[in-house]
Structure formats: structure tokens, C-alpha cells
Amino acid sequence: MLTKQKLAEMNSRGSSRPEGRTVALYAAIGAAVVAVAAGLLVSYALGAAVLLLGAAVAFFLGRKGSGGPKVELFYNLDAEAGARFAAVGTACEVLAGSEKIWRVDEEGTADGSVAPVGPRHPVTVGLLETPGFSANVDIWGIDDGTKLFFLPECVLSYRDGKYRPISYNSFGVLYSQSRRAEDGEVPSDAEVVEEVGRSPGMNGARRGTKRVEHPVVVYGMLALTGLAKGETLRLLVSNKARAARFVRPFGAGRDGEERGDARTAREARARRNAEAEAERNGSFYKVLGVDPGASQAEIHSAYKKKARMYHPDRVASLAPEVREMAELRMKEINAAYGEIKRRHGSPGAR
């Protein structure tokens, strides 16, 4: 696990890595240039010898600059801590499945009206390289220039070659939706709700040009708080359901409590609950292979088609594992159809 001593070692090694790697890179380039010159002007044998010597020097400088072996973090988590950490990893993996994630400086409009896209910068979410340390568990992270690593005991911020731990009590995530008039390519997993006319002269367009229609896209907005005093990282996410799912393992954070943002936290929780409910409702329709806006007749027809496909009589002569799979699918189909009827009224008699 992360201790003060290990953190100090990581910081001492992390600060020396960029300089050492730069020197090693220059040494390798210089050796390659000299080797080519020697090969052309003197002999190929001399060029090869210079190249090998340069590679050895570059490797030595790179190793020296890397600060030696990585600090090893070993975790032996109990069931409760393991479950919490697994939930964080799952949330990161779900978020990483979004087609586009950007860092934005502005939250957008507070009243839900349409805002321009504005400046945005690509963000990476995944199993990132961990400079200066390694661990016996998967470490997920967010990279927007500053890296955030999610460890079992804390969030680890990495900036300018230095690590800073952030407790999960201080770290918070708030979710909201942001309606943007998209002037670029719309991600395939984003929701387009309408089109809006963009006035001439906005976003650098010359005045007098023809009014252009832009799709209005509902993105997910994540506000990551507690990183530093007064600092908030805002992420615009193409898949709002995945963004909503990301917040589940995290609270609002201590920063929100100190600012008196109880109402904001309640609103964010309400939005998360609504988003999760919409996601659950969508899964029922997905089982039947219809859209949430399908008519009663379409829902009933889709149910009958699925039921015929997995009916026990249809698979009676097939292998036992096929019959077992069909039985499970039939239960899933009946459950989804029954839930849709319960929530939205009977779409037709069976």
C-alpha cells in the first residue's frame, strides 16, 4: 500500500524521469547521426560500432534518469475494501467505453438551455502507465495532462513529475447533463435532440455568412472536485448513461459540503437516479428488440416473435445446453414484457 516513505520515493524518481529520458533520446539521435556519417564516409563496420556504442550509452542514461526500479505497491484487500475498489474500477471501465471524453473549462448553462461547444481537450481514461511505481492490482486513471490514478486507499494526482494523494472523502464527482450546439462531428453514442440555427459570427464565423443548422447534443457532464483548493475538473462525455454510471462509487466530496452545496448534491443525486431509471427501462425494451418509443402493437408483436424463437417446443430436440439457454432467455423475455406492461399499461393480451 501507499506509505509516506513510498510516496517520497515515487516523487524523487518521478521528478528525474523526464530529464533522464530527454538526455537518453538526444544521445540516441546523436549516435544514429554519427553512425550514418561514419558508414558513408569511412566504413560500414565503423558505423555499426558507433551505433551500438550510442545505443548502449542511451540505454544507460535512460536507466539512470528513470530513477531505478519502480516502487512496488502491494495490496491484500479484505472483502469490503476489495468490493469498493472493484466498484471504482468498474466505473472507470464503463466511462472509458464512451466514444469521446473532453476536458472543458466551463460547465455550460445552468438553466438547461443550449450552449456552444466552446474549447475542449481530449481526455484518456484507461489503465495508464504509472510513472515511478507499480502495483499488484489494476490501476485505472484519467489523463487530461494531469493524471489521476485510482488506488484502493486514495486518488493519486500526478502533475509535473510529482504525486499528491487525495482522500476519497475529499474527492467528489457530480453528474449533470449539458446541451451543446455541436459544430463538429457528433459521436455515435451521443443523443441528438434537435437542431438549432447558429447565428453568423459565432465561433469565428464571418458575419454575413449563411445561417447554419447545428445538432443539439445532450452530453454528460462530470465535475470532479477536491483535486486542489478551488480546482474542479470538468469532463464532457459523449455517452451520458456511462457518465451517470461513473459517479456511483463516489460521493459529492468534502469540497461540496464546505461550500454549502447540499442542494447541488441533492440535485445531482436526483439526476443520477433518473438516469439510472432510464437505463433500466431501456434494458427491458432492448431484450424485446424494440425502441422505448415503440407502440403497444409493436411491443406485443416483438414479444410474440421472441417467445416463438425460444419456446421449449422449438428447442426440445436440441442439445441440453441449448435447451437450458433457451429457458433462461424465455424467462428474461417474459420478465421484460411483464415489467413493460406493469410500468406503462398492458400493451396487448398474450
C-alpha–C-alpha distance, residues 51 and 43, integer Å: 13
The confidence score (pLDDT) of residue 11 equals: 82
Contacts of 332 (CB under 8 A, 6+ apart): 287
The confidence score (pLDDT) of residue 25 equals: 55
Which tens digits make up the pLDDT trace of 10-59? 888 655 444 445 544 545 565 555 545 555 555 655 545 545 665 555 55
pLDDT classification of 90: cutoffs 50, 70, 90: very high
Q: Is the pLDDT of residue 92 over 80?
A: yes
In a 13 Å sphere around the CA of 42, the CA atoms on its Cβ side amount to: 11
Residue closest to 102 by CA, chosen among 211, 180, 216, 3? 180
Greater confidence, 328 or 129?
129
Distances (CA, A) of 97 to 3, 91, 100, 295, 338: 32, 10, 9, 31, 31
The C-alpha cell 417446443 sits at 313
Greater confidence, 286 or 131?
131
Greater confidence, 63 or 343?
343
Q: Note the helical H segments in the chain.
A: 4-14, 17-41, 44-65, 79-96, 240-246, 254-258, 262-288, 296-309, 312-315, 320-344
So what CATH class is 289-344? mainly alpha
Which tens digits make up the pLDDT trace of 292-309? 777 888 888 988 888 888
Mean model confidence pLDDT for the chain:
75
Q: Is the pLDDT of residue 266 over 90?
A: no
Domain boundaries, the chain: 17-66, 79-198+211-271, 289-344
C-alpha–C-alpha distance, residues 121 and 101, integer Å: 8
pLDDT classification of 278: cutoffs 50, 70, 90: low
The confidence score (pLDDT) of residue 147 equals: 95
- Are the CB atoms for 222 and 241 separated by under 8 Å? no
Q: CA 235, 240, 242 angle in degrees (round to 5)?
A: 90
pLDDT classification of 280: cutoffs 50, 70, 90: low
C-alpha–C-alpha distance, residues 30 and 266, integer Å: 60
Phi, psi dihedrals of residue 110, rounded to the nearest 5°: -80, -20
The confidence score (pLDDT) of residue 330 equals: 85
DSSP 3-state of 114: coil
In a 13 Å sphere around the CA of 6, the CA atoms on its Cβ side amount to: 15
C-alpha–C-alpha distance, residues 284 and 332, integer Å: 9
DSSP 3-state of 90: helix
